Amino acid sequence: MIKKLHLQTHVTALCIVKPHFLLEGCGGFLNLYNLDSNELLESLDIFRGARIHGIQYSSHNETVVAFGGKLLAVVALNRSQSAVSRLKILQKSSETDWIRDAKFVNDGDYLVTLTSHNKVLIQKTTSKAEIIEVQGDEQCILYCGKILGDHLSQLTILAGTVFGNILVWAASTSQKDKPLFHRLTGHNGVIFSINYDEISQTIISTSDDRSVRTWSLLFEDEKPSSFNLWSLFQRAKIQAKYELYGHEARVWNSVVMRQNQCDSALVASLGEDSRVCLWDLTSGTLFSKFDAHPGTSVWAAVWDQLRKLLVTAGGDGSTRIWNVNHLQETTCRQLKLPEEGQVPRLVVVTSTGYYRYLVFSQQGIIYGWNTDTQLWTSLFQDERLGNGSVLDSDGRTVIFGTRTGAVFVFVSGPSLELLTTHQLEKSKIYSVHLVASGQFMACLDNGRLLLLNIFDGNDSEPKTRFILPEGKQRWPSCILATQSRFMMGDREGSLHLYSTKKETPLQSFLNIHGKNGLTDIKSDPLGRNLYYTSGRDGHVGLWHLTDDQNKLELLSLTNTSLGWIARLRWINHQLTYLAFQSDRFVVWSSQQQRSLMQVPCGGGHRSWDFDVTSDVTLLFIKDKHIYEHRRPLSGVFSSSLPGRCGGHSKSVCRGRFIGFNEPLILTGSEDTTMRLSRLEKRSAQSLTIITKHVSSVRALAVKQLGDRSGTWLSISAGGRAQLSVGLLTLSGQGDQIHVIHHDVRTHFLRGWLRRTTNKPWIHCGDHPSLIPDPETRYMDVDVVDRGDRNFHIIAACSDSFIRIFSLALDGCRLDLFHELSFHNCCVLQVKVVADAYGNSILFSTGTNGRLAVWNITLLEEDKGIEPIGSLQVHQSGINSLDCQWVDVDRMLILTGGDDNALICSQVEISCERNVLELIDQQKQFPHAAQISGVAMLSNNLCVSVSLDQRLILWKQRDTQLTCLSTICCDVSDIQGLDVFPGTTKSLVMVYGQGIQVFEVDDSTSVIQNLEYPSATIVDPLSA
Amino acid sequence: MGKTSKDKRDVYYRLAKEEGWRARSAFKLLQIDDEFHIFEGVKNAVDLCAAPGSWSQVLTRKLRNKDDDSPTAKIVAVDLQAMAPLPGVIQIQGDITQLSTAEKIIQHFEGEKADLVVCDGAPDVTGLHDIDEYVQAQLLLAALNITTHVLKEGGVFVAKIFRGRDITLLYSQLRIFFPKVTVAKPTSSRNSSIEAFVVCQNYAPPSGYIPNMSNPLLDHQYCDWNEWEGPNRVIVPFLACGDLSAYDSDMSYPLDTEYKFRPPTQMPINPPYHEAVCIKKQDQLAKPAVDQLTKFESLELKE
């Protein structure tokens, strides 16, 4: 029997139920949350695999109607505090056509549905049999529709057609004619949504043409009462008001947000471009635009008027809560200095003190800004603080180094207080740095660094001296102090490790962050001897300091694709990057993989400071003016529903279980990232996101190093001929699992190709040059342990080769070792198993349906090998394969193909005799579409999964398979499966447009209650 | 990514441009023909949802100019969108759900019916597979509905399908009109794609069936909940098309050093996003008001 455990896929429907409930449709599951306590109360599988597209709640009968595809369910919601089970299915039905909208009218006595061919079905809720059908005059396919009116006598339909028209018609049951009030034209594509705002009497539509349009109801004479919808729409002239272009892709839906009845409304439009645009309905101006579900579509949104929250749901399987109220409080303004002619040079935002902003002018005057009085005050003047001075600040202490070797230390408190001054050598100070525990470091000429105590005052002897390696710009850009070590980054992009006892570095990593400079070093708040570095090359490095503190190891260097990263900050326990991308300042969350805030400040070459308290503040200088950009913290950081924090933004190409203290899953996706996730709260929670691939991650292989170690070798491969090796080190348990990813080596296939150039000064035209050959895709990988931390990696390639790489973990070497050529078509699968004699046997399959078997135990470089044999198993591509030994030379092979066939073959394989012989074969066609995943479990169980979304559990005896049970998955476009074997119960994960995890065992399933009423096939003769 | 990277990744895309096809899908129809010989003895052929016109191109090359003495076949292409003209193809810009379109087709055949109806139409996919599969099924059923008006008994109907969750319902609907329904997957259609083609042969509507355009054909429903997950679903035979020496659409082929990039044969005509793209190119997409401030101020300074 198969049981659904965890699901992460598109969230496509949301509904708020007062006072504090949120209903969410994820796949066929209806989830109920408490918005106040942020907990998942209940999860009910109402559609068994079909997706929920809409949820409507009626307070009259305390009932929810959920619909998706042709299915509709009526669910009672018990709102009382004490209820144990709050959701109860009252009725389920299946219509003949796709349902676009459904709602209760007449105080819950009737249920009205609008289907995709512009037909309205009216059903009395008390007697189920009676259905009235009202067919609209036009029968073309609707992509969306809205039922207006709370009473049968007022039912008005807004229908968006495939041809870009909006039809407004009265669904009258009494009259024969169904008057078409209006046909609104203007959109240049399919209409994806229509909404109606009663208060402003505006229709809002979104479309394939990437626009949001608003349409106003206008009246020449007296306005009819808004309760009489028919006369309202009949007498109105509907006029196109605004065409709003703000999205860069299709616009799926919109929601009206209104604080109070009388307020003007905002409209949130939801785009395929992952953004939410907030438009002012009255003026048509764009109020705000933010990246809500990065890399994927925003499918649904609801407005919680009580809490002033916007809840959005997207293709990454997350449901996010936005404090829009606070988004509105964003201010950006210029703060003019009180005295004319003063040119601001440097700015500092203090986290404490009376003066929140400090500005240092070119003439050496310090101004302080108080947020209550909204005034600048001149605080201090010393011309040495003018041009040429450098500063550092930790939000409380501000330190200055001048051109003449003087150091000023200020503390921001009730006022700005000059703490001490130091006079160092009469040399220019190139940089000053506050380091921990009352010390600072100053850099003089020729890379000479002095470490001093702040309180020692003038003419004190430096504690220690250091010297920076030679370079063009020989001063540090950032310094981090640990117990007895200093890490320094410099303007050359190098990282140095110093001990307090030695003048020269213990270790140097030259130009590790490119040549434009290393910008920040931060330690991990959990300790663990981990450190992060950032650079102007847009990379983030993760470092480990060995226990003896003498060596830094680079674990990974990640390209963030942000232009330049200026600082690292831990905000809400998330590593956040403060970066510049073209002319914008960007606050980027590494955990959410999205920008939290963007300010067009003109780029990175300016003085700026950033602070997070209850407000998020950016102070910067542009064109000799000071600007303040401020917004409330909760307008920047959204919160997610528990268990709905989201996963990959695109299709998951491969998933693998990792059996740590509990089964974790590693997934690779088309969105180019890998995620290691933990299964919790009926969903999956990402523990770490690995972004080292330049293209989709199509193949994964994992192997535990040693039996008990917490370290796994992870091999990932995919598009643009990239193969990457990493080590995942896991510790902790439960929700305290920590992951360290060590990026060992990445390999790109390169070929000798002639590159022609039209730049004659580059002598490239006649010489073949080594350039990446990026068009080969890796389709699958497997790994063989060869002992002594040496491995062979076998990769299936789209250019018909099987490539074997040798990996030596100790020397950190990854080299192409061998190329096998046989298939002459795209190779889809590779799998290596050991035989009874210790030989490594490789199975490979191609798009031509052929399975080849190889002995790769002994491979010599430069010596080609032939397969032991090959079998034509399928008509076309073999997408999945699993095998098991049944005897010394006998093996069962289970394959699933593009031709819908599931084939179980028994073969004789002998490396010694070089024999591959087919003994027996059984073919089945249990699936309606291509089979993308098969696996053999223990106790003669097998599973198969297909793009038809069915997961089938089989009992296998020899090559004979008998079906035990079938389940319909909630994940579409299933790319494959992986199993986590257990003694009685095993876990099965299917992946595609999301992830779903099942529990399977061989107990027979209880016949489930078949709630759906049977309906006969519509006979075309009777139509 | 380079201009030619798609040429390397997708051999049929490259070949289509080299051989002058308007889309790579031309090879799919050619490979289906290799297996099913759908063009044999065809006098009248209809291409539904024809734009950009690659299947019409295949029809002209296969049915016309073979030798000059045989009466040339008539080819009618129907699409809602505008399509660049093709010699030898009669074009109708019309809606396939309208009876008038069916009548126009018959008119062009001078009262005769078609021997072959092909349909390669597909909606712009949304990314939600259930919606995409539903719309594709509706498109196919609309094509089937008009086909029942124009196809001669014994005729052939070829159409694109998405093999998805409820594909069996579509099969059972097709089976009512065609005793022989086969799913074909040409090698030029990617292994990783959910696309496939149904080849429906020997058109034989149920006795007494009167074609009716006034109501759309709807796809079937599961008879009861058992069929949802049970074994009684209608599964139709599968046939891979295209011989083994044909190019593999999933395979990446290196380009010759002499290779020259070619632009696509036919660019899209007036797509829905046309205006939005123009607006974006002129940097006229709406921008949040707050972001404007620093920009306005710096403009003031320059004056």
Please say if the pLDDT value at position A330 is more than 70: yes
Under DSSP, is residue A183 helix (H, G, I), strand (E, B) or coil?
Answer: strand
SS (H, E, C) A720-771: CCEEEEEEEEEECCHHHCEEEEEEEEEEECEEEEECCCCCCCCCCCCCEEEE
- Residue with the bigger pLDDT between A496 and B270: it is A496
Q: Which of B261, B290, B295, B300 to mutate to test the interface with A (most CBs of A within 10 A)?
A: B290
Inspect the interface and report whether the beta carbons of B206 and A928 lie closer than 8 Å.
no
What pLDDT digit, counting tens, does each position of B58-107 carry? 998 888 765 555 567 889 999 888 888 888 899 998 888 888 888 889 88
User: What's the pLDDT band for A1019 if we cut at 50, 70, 90?
Assistant: very low
- Shortest distance between the Cα of B134 and any Cα of chain A, in A, equals 8
Query: Which of B136, B170, B191, B279 to mutate to test binding with chain A, by most A CBs within 10 Å of its CB?
Result: B191
Min mean pLDDT across A54-58, A482-486, A927-931, B2-6 is at: B2-6
Q: Do B165 and A968 touch (CB under 8 A)?
A: yes
Structure confidence at residue A442 as a pLDDT band (50, 70, 90)? very high
| B219 found inside a domain | yes
Q: Judged by CB atoms within 8 Å, which residues 16-55 of A form the interface with B?
A: 48-51
Question: Quick one: pLDDT at residue A369?
Answer: 92
Interface of A with B in 759-798 (CB under 8 A): 773-777, 798
How many C-beta atoms lie closer than 10 Å to residue A563's C-beta? 18
Residues of A in contact with B272 (CB under 8 A): 164, 188-190, 207-210
**pLDDT of A223 strictly over 70:** yes
Q: How sure is the predictor about B121, in pLDDT bands with cuts at 50, 70 and 90?
A: confident
Position B144 scores a pLDDT of 92
Residue A161 has pLDDT above 80, yes or no: yes
Which of A351-365, A586-600, A636-650, A786-800 is least confident? A636-650
User: What is the average pLDDT across A270-275?
Assistant: 94
Instruction: Answer whether residue A872 shows pLDDT above 80.
Output: yes
Tell me, what CATH number does B25's domain have? 3.40.50.150
d(CA B246, CA A219): 66
Contact map slice: A 151-180 vs B, CB within 8 A: 163-164
Put simply, the answer to whether A1018 touches B240 (Cβ < 8 Å) is no
Give residue A430's pLDDT band: very low, low, confident or very high (50, 70, 90). Answer: very high
Is A96's Cβ below 8 Å from some Cβ in B?
Answer: yes
Per this entry, what is the length of chain A?
1023
pLDDT, greater one: A673 or B232: A673
Q: Specify the pLDDT at position A287.
A: 84
Instruction: With CB atoms and an 8 Å threshold, state whether B223 touches A1014.
Output: yes
Q: How far apart are CA A201 and CA A185, in angstroms?
A: 18
User: What percentage of chain B carries pLDDT values higher than 70?
Assistant: 85
Q: What is the per-residue pLDDT for B73?
A: 84
Res A1013 pLDDT > 50: no
pLDDT, tens digit (0-9, with 9 covering 90-100), for A817-838? 888 989 989 999 999 999 989 8
Contact A248/B at CB under 8 A? yes
Would the ipTM clear 0.85, i.e. be above it?
yes
| CA separation for the pair A559, A543 (Å, rounded) | 15
Which pLDDT score is estimated for A633? 77
Give the Cα separation of A393 and A388 in Å (integer): 17
> Is pLDDT at A864 greater than 60 in this prediction?
yes
Banded model confidence at residue A52, pLDDT cuts 50, 70, 90: very high
Amino acid A893: pLDDT: 96
Average pLDDT over residues A103-129: 87
Which of A877, A928, A993 is facing B129, going by the closest CB pair? A993
Residue A764 pLDDT exceeds 80: no
Q: What is the pLDDT of residue A49?
A: 84
Distances (CA, A) of A274 to A185, A299, A808, B124: 27, 9, 42, 18
Residues A119-155: pLDDT tens digits? 999 988 877 666 788 888 777 788 999 999 999 888 9
Q: What is the rounded distance in angstroms from the CA atom of residue A29 to the CA atom of residue A36?
A: 21
State the average pLDDT over residues A546-555: 89
**Rounded CA gap, A666 and A664, in Å?**
7
Task: Measure CA A588 to chain center.
Answer: 13
B209 within a domain of the structure (yes/no): yes
Q: What is the pLDDT of residues A590-621, one digit of tens each?
A: 877 788 888 888 888 899 999 988 788 999 99
A865 against A128, higher pLDDT: A865
**Residue B162 covered by a domain:** yes
> Which residue range(s) make up the domain with B124?
5-241
**Is A94 at the interface with chain B, CB within 8 A?**
yes
Whether A1010 has a pLDDT exceeding 70, the answer reads no
Question: How many Å separate Cα A789 from the centre of its chain?
Answer: 34
Share of chain A above pLDDT 70, in %: 93
- Please report which confidence band the pLDDT of residue A16 belongs to, taking 50, 70 and 90 as the band edges: very high
Q: Is the pLDDT of residue B137 over 60?
A: yes
Return the minimum-mean-pLDDT range out of A169-183, A255-269, A274-288, A471-485: A169-183
Contact list, B191 vs chain A (CB under 8 Å)? 826, 828, 847, 876-877, 879, 898, 930
Q: Are A25 and A50 spatial neighbours (Cβ–Cβ below 8 Å)?
A: no
Name chain A contacts of B211, Cβ cutoff 8 Å. none
Residue numbers in B near A929 (CB within 8 A):
163-164, 167, 194
Residue A348 bridge partners (DSSP): A358
- Res. A733 pLDDT band, cuts 50 70 90: confident
What whole-number distance in Å separates Cα of residue A591 and Cα of residue A686? 9
- Flag if A601 and B171 touch (Cβ within 8 Å): no
**What would the pLDDT profile of A279-306 be if each residue is shown by its tens digit?**
999 999 998 888 889 899 999 999 998 8
**B47 annotated as belonging to a binding site for a ligand:** no
Are B284 and A189 a contacting pair at CB < 8 A?
Answer: no
According to the model, what pLDDT value does residue A464 have?
84
- Report the pLDDT value the prediction gives residue A486, as an integer from 0 to 100: 92
Query: Given a cut of 50, is residue A905 above it in pLDDT?
Result: yes
**Which of A420, A442, A414, A416 is closest to A429 using CA atoms?**
A442
Tell me how many residue pairs between chain A and chain B have CB atoms under 8 A apart. 254
A847·B275 Cβ contact <8 A: no
pLDDT score of A233 more than 80: yes
The DSSP result for A477-495, as a single string, is EEEEE-SSEEEEEETTS-E
- Average pLDDT score over chain B: 83
Instruction: Count CB atoms within 10 A of the CB of residue A379.
Output: 18
Q: What is the mean pLDDT of chain A?
A: 87
Q: What is the pLDDT averaged over residues B228-253?
A: 73
- Give the mean pLDDT of A656-677: 93
Helix (H) or strand (E) holding A567, with range, is strand A564-571
Q: Does A696 touch chain B (CB under 8 A)?
A: no
B53 has binding-site annotation: yes
Per-residue pLDDT, averaged over B119-135, amounts to 89
Q: Does the residue B97 lie in any domain?
A: yes
> Which candidate from B218, B251, B279 shows the least CB-CB separation from A1018?
B218
Q: What is the least distance, in Å, from the CA of B291 to any CA of chain A?
A: 6
Nearest-5° Cα angle at A830, A827 to A835: 145
Is residue B224 one of the residues assigned to a domain?
A: yes
Question: What does the alpha-carbon distance between residue B280 and residue B283 come to, in Å, rounded to a whole number?
Answer: 5
- Hey, are the CB atoms on B257 and A332 less than 8 Å from each other? no
Q: Is residue B259 part of a domain?
A: no
**What amino acid occupies position B196?**
A
Residue from the list A98, A208, A875 with its beta carbon closest to the beta carbon of B238:
A875
Distance from CA of A967 to the nearest CA of B (A): 6
pLDDT tens digits for range B42-52: 999 999 988 88
Give the nearest partner residue to A245 out of B128, B222, B279, using CB atoms.
B279
What domain count does chain B have? 1
Q: Which residues of B does the annotation mark as catalytic?
A: 160
Spell out the domains of chain A, with CATH numbers in brackets.
Answer: 2-194+289-326 (2.130.10.10), 327-386+564-637 (no CATH)
Higher model confidence: residue A767 or residue A711? A711
Instruction: Output DSSP code: residue B254.
Output: P
Tell me whether residues B286 and A246 touch, CB distance under 8 A: yes
- Choose the mutation target among B273, B284, B296 for the interface with A, i.e. most A CBs under 10 Å: B273
Query: In Å, how far from its chain's centre is CA A344?
Result: 40
Lowest-confidence region among A79-83, A454-458, B250-254: A454-458
- Give pLDDT, residue A30: 95
| 3-state SS assignment for residue A446 | helix
